[in-house]
Structure 1
Amino acid sequence: MEFLQVENVKKLELERCDIELRYGENAHERAFIFGKPQFELLHEGKQLSYNNILDAEAAWVLAKNLQTIGGGVAVIKHQTPCGASYLRTGSDEEKIHTITRAIQADSESSYGGILATSFPFTLDMAKAINTYLEVIVAPEFEPQAVEYLSKKKVRLIKPKEYTPYAGKVAFGSLVLSERKFEGEPELLFGEPCDVKDIKFALIVVEAVKSNAIVIVKDGVTVGIGGGQPSRKRSAWIATTLAKDNAKGAIAASDAFFPFTDGLEILIDAGVKCVVAPLGSIRDEEVLNFAREKDITFYKSPIRLFRH
């Protein structure tokens, strides 16, 4: 079976893949793959699990989206970013530094996580990692890096070219949605912020689940809140994690602010620049509140909500 391409979706024949997974979402459950996963498994320190594959793709899609601003690194746990950072230069030293920054953005959660880079993975990068990772995903691996990491329990995944989709199994059927990141943020009012940081915040917030709020500062995430039924609650989580790093930072929201309360939490924490889509019946109330608080507000070109 070919991997999901739009023109082939209607004629898919779901054939069982011969990859044996360690277990399902929980250890007492079995798991199966249908179709042909678009990656090469360069090393399998431990047998792949259902969660490993889902986490690895979440990390890879985020890392690949970071290529639009020059490349970067993502660390994922339970399909949610723990930390991310983007490249300021293209030097090997900077790439190692970017990996370290992404891991240290939330070092507690990064332990046992999945790391993905948008750039080839070298031996020096492998030696610089001082935490346990379940999976490393990269477009290429230096042979010496594979040899070095093969002594560890980590899995090494090299993705092929494919089109990512968002999807769920529901009522015995496979429900798919296109997954697109596009457009440019628009400054509505306030002092201009670093556009690269703005785009970085939007790229990361697209990878976080429902009612996502992401706070970034100097090219790295400092607070991530998501997976909540309330945007206000996600803002509280993000600012609590960011602590003093929220001061002067940039915050991105995956969808509009339905009320001023979530925005107020960000502003009270010291956030000076916010990027979010519009579309609420209270947009003017929210924007007027932002003006009164003298912060910068950018309009996101698209909604980035993920369930």
Structure 2
Amino acid sequence: MTRALISVFDKTGIVDLARAIANAGIDIISTGATARVLAEAGIAVSGVESVTGFPECFDGRVKTLHPLVHGGILADRRKPDHVAQMKELGVEPIDIVIVNLYPFEETLASGASPDECIEQIDIGGPAMVRAAAKNHASVAVLTSPSQYGDAIVALERGGFTEEERRVLAARAYAHTAAYDAAVANWMTELADEEPQYVGVGLPRTATLRYGENPHQSAWLSADGKGGVANAVQLGGKEMSYNNYRDTDAALRAAYDHLDPTVAIIKHTNPCGIATADTIEQAHASAHACDPVSAYGGVIAANRKVTRAMAEQVKPIFTEVIVAPDYDEDALELLQTKKNLRILKVTPSEEQRDITQISGGFLVQARDQVDQAGDVFAGWDHVAGPEADEQTRNDLEFAWRTVRSVRSNAVLLVKDGASVGVGMGQVNRVDSCRLSVERANTLGVAVESDVDTAGGAQAGTAASEERARGSVAASDAFFPFADGLEVLIEAGVKAVVQPGGSIRDAEVIEAANAAGVTMYFTGVRHFAH
């Protein structure tokens, strides 16, 4: 090895690596700010312009795009004709390329203007990385400070092995692919009303112990943009694959609401969701929906966790708690539970859901309908008396909440809290039966002062007839009146559903005959 090219935006560790390169007797060429940093550290360095005979120009847009640079990287030294051409053209080999790219995604996340983002789209950097990776038979390419330690070891022993260069090349192409995907997504959103392309880069950012089951390997790819994948862990055991899935479902369920809300999730389905004036009241009511299933669940809050809420959570075996923040004394109390995973999170603003299927992917706009504003105003009143204010509030809460229940979904709500959940059934009448059964056998009463000693802990004192006087939300229409009749028989007083069945008239007639209020939304909330 005779020459190395260094051009990095992130200069972490670059001086130590450059010093090891120089100590190995390898000449260094570099660009702009990187060259200045190395020179100030007392490391011999030549500017790229001394190689190309051409100055950096256009505000640094053109620095390394030159045959004497790319020829030195791309020439295959295994081929005699390439070696001959190098001599003929005066091209000197470049054996190590150390490049990391302009911070495009960070600039985009900062809210910078389109012109500012454009200037952070790296051109020369990806070109050099891709060239070096293509020619990894002769060239080692480094794209991250995390690789520098191993590179120094390789330099001290005399160079990189073929296998090491191959691994570095694979990581280099993954790096540029993720970078290009981020740029392409942004440009597509700027240009297209309905994007025709979605790029997905999935760098491994953490290795998990295992996947959904112990025989499955798994890892995490975090994009640095908020959400559960980028949460700060403040206590507890390492997060598992299933923890991430459940926590994501819980967080999204809690943030479907504007008022203080707590969602408790088990296997991506809610055990209970409630809203209240305070976050501790919301938690007590959510837990009271189904304390048995909440054992070993995930708790998400859309407000800072208070000491009062932490005191309620502490006696309950919980896998994960996630919230935007914690009062200091609440965090101290929760941290006494050594196995409780405590996450502080900034919600992400995902606009799409991407699901892998065999042979490809499904991409859809995220279901964010009816999360804010007066949703009631857009509903059609089709049966029974008009809802009073309390009933209306419960119907709105039920409709926003049923989105987080797996289809077929029927949710019963009373006083701003779920009291019965029928989820994941293969027909709607079974979902109705399940919601009523769970309401009348699993819940507990919650006192107004949020006394949880017998409520939000044990789950042994079943309430009676909680379904009676509740309201119901169905994520899709009732294909027959039989499902509605199950709810009517249980004492449900009002129902909200999308409508749209060919038997809507039959369903409306059953509601009117029972004096049950019914509204149609015209919107479906399937969640498979």
- 1:60 aligns with 251
- 2:221 aligns with 34
Deviant stretches of 4+, over 4 Å? none
Q: Which has the higher contact order (CA 8 A, sep 6+)?
A: 1
Percent of pairs with identical residues: 36
User: Does the alignment pair 1:150 with 2:347?
Assistant: no
User: Does the alignment pair 1:294 with 2:478?
Assistant: no
Determine if contact 2:384/2:511 at 8 Å carries over to the other structure: no
Determine if contact 1:43/1:154 at 8 Å carries over to the other structure: no
Structure 2 residue corresponding to 1:248, chosen from 469, 481, 486: 469
Q: Secondary structure at the match of 1:211?
A: coil
Query: What's the RMSD between the two structures over aligned residues?
Result: 2.2
Which structure 2 residues correspond to residues 122-201 of structure 1 after superposition, within 5 A?
122-129=306-313, 130-152=315-337, 153-164=339-350, 165-183=352-370, 184-185=375-376, 186=379, 187-191=381-385, 192-193=387-388, 194-201=391-398
Provide the rounded CA distance (Å) in 2 between the counterparts of 1:174 and 1:71.
35
How far residue 35 of structure 1 moved from its aligned partner, in angstroms, is 4.3
- 2:158 aligns with none
Structure 1 residue corresponding to 2:242, chosen from 39, 48, 51: 51
Between Structure 1 and Structure 2, how many residues are aligned? 300
How far residue 65 of structure 1 moved from its aligned partner, in angstroms, is 0.9
How far residue 301 of structure 1 moved from its aligned partner, in angstroms, is 4.2
How far residue 11 of structure 1 moved from its aligned partner, in angstroms, is 5.2
How far residue 46 of structure 1 moved from its aligned partner, in angstroms, is 1.3
Residue by residue, what CA displacement relative to the aligned partner does 1:213-248 show, whole Å, maximum 9, x if unpaired? 000111211110011110011101001111201111
Provide the rounded CA distance (Å) in 2 between the counterparts of 1:202 and 1:147.
36
Provide the rounded CA distance (Å) in 1 between the counterparts of 2:236 and 2:361.
31
Structure 2 residue corresponding to 1:270, chosen from 466, 485, 491: 491
1:175/1:33 CA distance change after superposition, 3 Å = farther
User: Does the alignment pair 1:75 with 2:264?
Assistant: yes
Provide the rounded CA distance (Å) in 2 between the counterparts of 1:9 and 1:139.
34
Provide the rounded CA distance (Å) in 2 between the counterparts of 1:239 and 1:63.
23
Determine if contact 2:205/2:222 at 8 Å carries over to the other structure: no
Q: Which structure shows the bigger proportion of residues in helix conformation?
A: 2
Q: 12-21 vs 58-67, which deviates more? A: 12-21
Q: Secondary structure at the match of 1:137?
A: strand
Q: Which runs of 5+ in 2 are unaligned?
A: 1-177, 190-194, 441-464
Q: 45-54 vs 74-83, which deviates more? A: 45-54
Structure 2 residue corresponding to 1:207, chosen from 383, 404, 407: 404
Q: Which amino acid aligns with 1:156?
A: I
Provide the rounded CA distance (Å) in 1 between the counterparts of 2:400 and 2:487.
19
Determine if contact 2:260/2:279 at 8 Å carries over to the other structure: no
Which structure 2 residues correspond to residues 12-27 of structure 1 after superposition, within 5 A?
12-27=199-214
Q: Which amino acid aligns with 1:56?
A: T
Q: 75-84 vs 113-122, which deviates more? A: 113-122
Determine if contact 2:382/2:508 at 8 Å carries over to the other structure: no
* TM norm structure 2: 0.54
Q: Secondary structure at the match of 2:393?
A: helix
- 1:281 aligns with 502
* TM norm structure 1: 0.90
Q: Which amino acid aligns with 1:97?
A: Q
